[in-house]
């Protein structure tokens, strides 16, 4: 539900050619593919950026909405 509301807000405030970097739990990867699938929100590509954190149970990753985003952080 959080991502649905976030998408609604981002669609209202982002310019058509905006670049989006989303850092979130990998448990919502399927949600990201469904919701963030059209400009300016996507399509999102999982980046090479290693998201490090302490004391959190879930793994995290970063997704980007621009061309070659999958190489970001490599």
Residue 68 has pLDDT above 90, yes or no: yes
Q: Is the pTM of this model over 0.85?
A: yes
Calculate the CA dihedral of residues 28, 34, 37, 41 and round it to 10 degrees: -50
What is residue 32's predicted lDDT score, i.e. its pLDDT? 92
Residues 9-54 pLDDT 10s: 999 999 888 899 999 999 999 999 999 998 888 899 999 999 988 8
Cβ neighbours of residue 26 closer than 8 Å, sequence gap 6 or more: 58, 59, 60, 61
Quick check: 56 pLDDT over 90? Answer: no
Q: Which tokens go with 21?
A: 């970097």
Is residue 71 scored above 90 in pLDDT?
yes
First-last CA distance in the chain:
31
Extents of the domains making up the chain:
2-71
């Amino acid at each position: 539900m959080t991502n649905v509301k976030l998408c609604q807000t981002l669609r209202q405030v982002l310019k058509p050619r905006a670049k989006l970097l989303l850092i979130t739990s990998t448990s919502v990867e399927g949600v990201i593919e469904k919701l963030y699938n059209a400009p300016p929100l996507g399509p999102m590509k999982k980046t090479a950026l290693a998201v490090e954190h302490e004391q959190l149970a879930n793994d995290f990753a970063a997704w980007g909405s621009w061309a070659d985003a999958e190489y970001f952080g490599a």
